Structure 1
């Protein structure tokens, strides 16, 4: 089996998922890596990363202009789509890794649909257009309303997260579905205990960071949208594996307790779960996305070592007093939606029985 050297990802501490760190964490899709040009990107949400995603060459959306956001930021335009909005068209707010995978999976069932993506910068508009996602800047005012809207943007790049969510809702026509991708961080459990869809959340006012997510969730639920709280995300990327364990391998010794329980879900599974929820056209519901195989930090690194896929060797976790985690279980979500993950566990993802 070939060995994989750890790629030099910047800001690697951002790899650790918010719900698996402390009750003060706040990242939804917690990975930061180098872009295809090698430039350094901010820690947190992987919105500006070049991702290899298959696309249908005959997709109508690929013919759309890549300059959907041209013009003054305050300019009111007819909208970024070409012509009339169709019954299966989608808007993605924050089309990073998760949003791009959602677009790919959505188009598999809706090959003629239009997909637009709202971004903070135009840095990766050509990449998005190549994937069949017509991009436009956040500042661009659009009049169109879409039947399917998914909000994947992180709170780290805005001063008014709930306001951004409200703006996205204003572009939802009330049909189809609106989905907000949140995090399992708000669940009020820090003793490695069990936690499911109905477990209590952190009370508003205790943590400003979890308040941001909970307030945004409330905006969505009040509007009839749905929320999916996702566990720690990871993915195979450029022939390497991306996740918190990469950071730990690079560090060698980590000042964190080894028995802290983590919960994981592969990016592809998070995307398929999101698409499944939207296709159900549900209203005002909260779902949970995880692989139902909680593992401790130490177990993660034991699996990495056992896989034999990495040339680096991990030293040890030395912490003793940092918070514990939670053991997520989303059996209710799976049963209601009829959904199962492609990657049932991190061990199976690594090929370790």
Structure 2
């Protein structure tokens, strides 16, 4: 017995209905080439978003956060806030930046890997790591090839770096600061510095760190970079520069220094970070040459 063929119009309708009933077969949303996802829209993440929108006015910037506490502020800044837990896996981004601190995650490497699931094929990611992963503590110069620490905090950060391998750049940032944030603010507030006065601290302004992130996104070099202003200061020099500034000078006094056997803010001598690779390959230059220069102007 021969089979009867369905009329062409009915066959087309059945095909359309079947397609509509199979959403799992739909392709992921195409990534817009200039759009950016920032995971961890805190002080640094928001500055990255602002700078990206200045350079790419037509770009959409999505800010993923753990809570909705600052979503109103993010909308006022022209960003699209979203809970990190609500990231749509069918939505892809040509650029992804991860700025969330390790203190907010029990498995930092997994958190980074999960965020990178939103990266489009061939897209560019940037992970903001820390120069604290280096083992050097004798005051010598360190670049990207420096020996790495085996401390638990360093290993946690390195596991997150590993999740980015091949997908983007890792920026090992020096200590971040602005006028009201950084080691100087904390030390002057508590009146005690838990560390040797002569121990070196490497710094970079939040704005300069943000510009390094944007440069890395644009350069699309999937390697590790050290980011620092190149002018490490001792703990004492940092405090002296802050106390001499207009912002702190009228009410701040020099804190006292304590150097216990275990130093939470770093070792006795510290290190000198060499950011030459970032300057040469990313074309990055810090706007603020040093913490002392910045504070002198404020």
Could you tell me the TM-score, scaled by structure 1's length?
Answer: 0.71
- Per the TM alignment, residue 339 of structure 1 is displaced from its structure 2 partner at its CA by 1.3
Can you list the C-alpha shifts for 1:254-310, whole angstroms capped at 9, x where unaligned?
342111110000000000010001011222x00111000000001111222333542
In structure 1, list runs of 5 or more residues that go unmatched: 1-75
Work out which of the residue numbers 183, 190, 193 in structure 1 matches 2:130. Answer: 183
Residues 263-272 or 169-178, more deviating = 169-178
User: Which of the numbers 225, 229, 234 marks the counterpart of 2:168?
Assistant: 225
1:329 aligned partner? 274
- Tell me, yes or no, if structure 1 residue 316 matches structure 2 residue 256: yes
SS at match of 2:132: coil
In 2, distance between residues paired with 1:117 and 1:253? 36
Could you tell me how far apart the structure 1 residues matched to 2:40 and 2:192 are?
A: 34
1:344 is aligned to 2:289: yes
Please tell me whether Structure 1 or Structure 2 has the larger radius of gyration of its CA atoms: 2
- Give the structure 2 partner of residue 294 of structure 1: 232
Alpha-carbon distance, 1:183 to partner: 0.3
RMSD after superposition: 2.1
Instruction: Note if 1:208 corresponds to 2:140.
Output: no
1:180-216: per-residue Cα shift (whole Å, max 9, x none)? 00000111111222111221212xxx32211111011
Change (3 A) 1:156 1:318: closer
Match of 1:151 among 93, 98, 101: 98
8 A contact 1:125–1:135 mirrored in 2: yes
Please give the residue correspondences for 1:212-291 in structure 2 after superposition, counting only pairs within 5 Å: 212-221=156-165, 223-236=166-179, 241-283=180-222, 285-291=223-229
TM-score calculated relative to the size of structure 2: 0.83
Q: Secondary structure at the match of 1:127?
A: helix
Measure, in 1, the Cα distance between the counterparts of 2:134 and 2:192: 29
- Which residue of structure 2 aligns with residue 303 of structure 1? 241
Q: Which runs of 5+ in 2 are unaligned?
A: 1-23
The structural deviation recorded for 1:225 is: 1.6
* Count of residue pairs brought into register by the alignment: 264
